[in-house]
Each structure stands twice: as C-alpha cells, then as structure tokens.
A = this chain, B = another copy of it.
Amino acid sequence: MMGEEFQASKPIYMQIVDRIVQQIIRGELLPEEKLPSVREMAIQTGVNPNTIQRTYSELERMEVVETKRGQGTFITEDEQMIKQLKVNMQIGIIEVFVKNMKELGFSDKEMVTGLETYFERKRGEDDD
C-alpha cells in the first residue's frame, strides 16, 4: 500500500533527499512550506522514522530546509538559495554526463550531437 520502490544501489534516506530537492526545484514545494513531521513522513514513505531523520538532517546540511525544534521542518525562505540549488544540481548532472562520455572517447561536440540525435530518434518513435 505505502511502501514505494527504492533502488538498492543508493541509501533510502538519500533517495528521499533527492525526491524532496526535486520537488523544491520544480516549485511543487514552496519556500517556508512545512514538510510532514518525521513520524508522518515515515508512515507516508513506509520507512523507519530514523531514516527520515537522516533525510531531514541531510537536507538541513544542504541548507534547503530549516528545522524549528518543537514546530517542524520547513523549506528555506531563501529563494535565491533555491535558485542556486537548481543551478548547482544542473551543473553536477552535466559534469557527470561529460565525464562518463569522455571516458568512452566522445568529444564535446559529439556529446551535443549525440544528445540531439537521441531526442530526434525519440520523437520519431511510435510510442512512449
């Protein structure tokens, strides 16, 4: 019923961190908004409260949430921080991509054309 699928390759608490960060960046979670309590979130995701606490600790370390002891955990009100977060995440993803492609021997230009070709082929397919 509740237990969603988590990948075995990455700690659950980090997968939840990723999910929340994505929601913030996409604007689905707004500044100053309150996150579910540790215990509530644990129920929602079907994991142990301790795992959620790790998630929230990590989010606080990243400075994307603030915890008010006794009140709850809230998305940061610093919109500039969120904007910067999106940029940093984007750069991180690009750097991994470039590194991986480079290891296969692709040049910068080939990476761009490779990506474009991928999109073209995807649009040309029947379904999905």
Which residues of A are in contact with B by a Cβ distance under 8 Å?
18, 22, 25-27, 86, 89-91, 93-94, 96-98, 100-101, 103-106, 108, 111-112, 114-116, 118-119
Across-interface contacts of A98 in B (CB, < 8 A): 118
Q: How far is the CB of A46 from chain B (nearest CB, A)?
A: 21
Q: How far is the CB of A110 from chain B (nearest CB, A)?
A: 9
* Contact in complex: A93, B100 (CB < 8 Å): yes
List 14 extra interface pairs beyond A90-B101, A93-B97, A93-B100, CB under 8 A. A22-B103, A22-B104, A25-B104, A26-B104, A89-B104, A90-B106, A90-B114, A91-B118, A93-B104, A94-B97, A94-B118, A96-B97, A112-B115, A112-B116
Residue on B with the closest CB to A105? B26
Q: How far is the CB of A121 from chain B (nearest CB, A)?
A: 10
CA distance A93 to B22 in the complex (A): 20
Across-interface contacts of A119 in B (CB, < 8 A): 108, 112
Q: How far is the CB of A125 from chain B (nearest CB, A)?
A: 13
Across-interface contacts of A118 in B (CB, < 8 A): 91, 94, 98
